Amino acid sequence: MRFICFTAGEENPLFDRMFADLAGDSRVRMVSGLPRHSSALWKLHHKRGLNRKRPAPFRSVWSDKAFEAMVREEASASTGLCLLFNNFSLRFFEPSQLKHWKKDYGVKLVLCFIDRAVSWFSAEALMLTEHVDFDRIYSYSRPDAESMGWEFFDCYYSKAEAEGEGEESDLYFWGSDTGRRKMLEEIFLHVTGLGKKVRMGICYAQGDSPRLPGISYDEPREYEEILKDIAGAKVLLDIIDGKGGVSLRYHEAAAYGKKLISNNPEIKRMRLYDPCQMLYITSCSDIPASFFEEEAAIQPYSGEFSPLHWIDQLEKYFI
């Protein structure tokens, strides 16, 4: 069976990085580019506000000829073809074209949500599940998968070696605020008070409270730089606001042999969870100095979260 994986990496290179293991698999064709047009009419026609409950009328006029040729060629050359989308890439494809590919070429359609179902980034993909017959739907969020009747999906991380090592730190966090600023700042003060070095960046900081010295605010970093920072860190910090799927921090801790501090109870249900390596907290006071000082027998990582396992699973399911 053959697979085409539409990563949407043209819009966000991190998606290419997450699924990079698939690039070396002969079964998979990786497609980073997206069917899109520069015209103002196309942008208007694809506004999420117009596509919140049903596809906007006459979207079929934007069906992409280049992607049509690609799918037709792959379908005719293989005994089975499966198209893989994530919620970000799906919004650029026309529902009528997806239905046509399924009916006329016999392709399988698979969708994976790498954002919560309630996220603004999932709105259009969620709507399309009501209008397009997907063969399988996955979510990186176990609560979403259980409540929506989807499959749980945790194989979306491809390990990459950092080119060099960043500044050493006892605790590392770099990410967007998204309602986490207060707790992040409390942890920063608590852990530095324990005499530990914290390297923390809060991007798109919300609120007008004074900014703490020692924290970098509103300084986005490329993922390659974050990987260097991870290499120099002893412990990674994963803080979520509300109920969320397990973030990349969990996968990074497992893949790169780092300890993890998280307020996400879902880590206890994840593969490779190790209470000696991973500390679940509800407040900053749950973090003891000993967690940074005690040695832990880190479990060796063998690619358990690689998307290659997802392809193996899909191939068995469809064949």
SS3 317: helix
| 101, amino acid identity | W
- Answer yes or no: are the C-beta atoms of 137 and 151 closer than 8 Å: yes
What's the CATH code, domain 169-293?
Answer: 3.40.50.2000
Phi then psi for residue 235, to 5 deg, are: -135, 140
Is there a shared CATH topology between the 2-158+307-318 domain and the 169-293 domain? yes
Alpha carbon 253 to its chain's center: 15
Q: What is the assigned CATH class of domain 2-158+307-318?
A: alpha beta
Residue-level pLDDT at 243: 66
> Where are the chain's structural domains?
2-158+307-318, 169-293
Residue-level pLDDT at 51: 79
Paired sense of beta strands 28-31 and 2-6, if any: parallel
Retrieve residue 319's tokens.
Answer: 């064949």
- Answer yes or no: are the C-beta atoms of 261 and 287 closer than 8 Å: yes
In whole angstroms, give the CA distance from residue 280 to residue 1.
41
Residue 255 burial (CB < 10 Å; 0-12/13-18/19+)? buried
Q: Within 10 Å of residue 287's Cβ, how many Cβ atoms?
A: 20
Residue with tokens 């974050």: 226
Taking only the tens of pLDDT, the chain with its 319 residues reads 999 999 999 999 999 999 999 999 999 999 999 988 777 888 788 887 777 778 888 787 888 899 999 999 999 998 999 999 999 999 899 999 999 999 999 999 999 999 999 998 999 999 999 999 999 999 999 999 999 999 999 999 999 988 888 899 999 999 999 899 999 999 999 999 999 999 999 999 998 899 999 999 999 999 999 999 999 999 999 999 876 778 999 999 999 999 999 999 999 999 999 999 999 999 999 999 999 999 878 888 999 999 999 999 999 999 8
- Answer yes or no: are the C-beta atoms of 207 and 235 closer than 8 Å: no
Q: Within 10 Å of residue 202's Cβ, how many Cβ atoms?
A: 24
Q: Which among 143, 134, 132, 88 is positioned nearest to 110, based on CA atoms? A: 134
What's the pTM value of the predicted model, to 2 decimals?
A: 0.92
CA distances from 102 to 66, 175, 314 (A): 17, 39, 17
HSE value, Cβ hemisphere, 13 Å, CA-based, for 32: 14
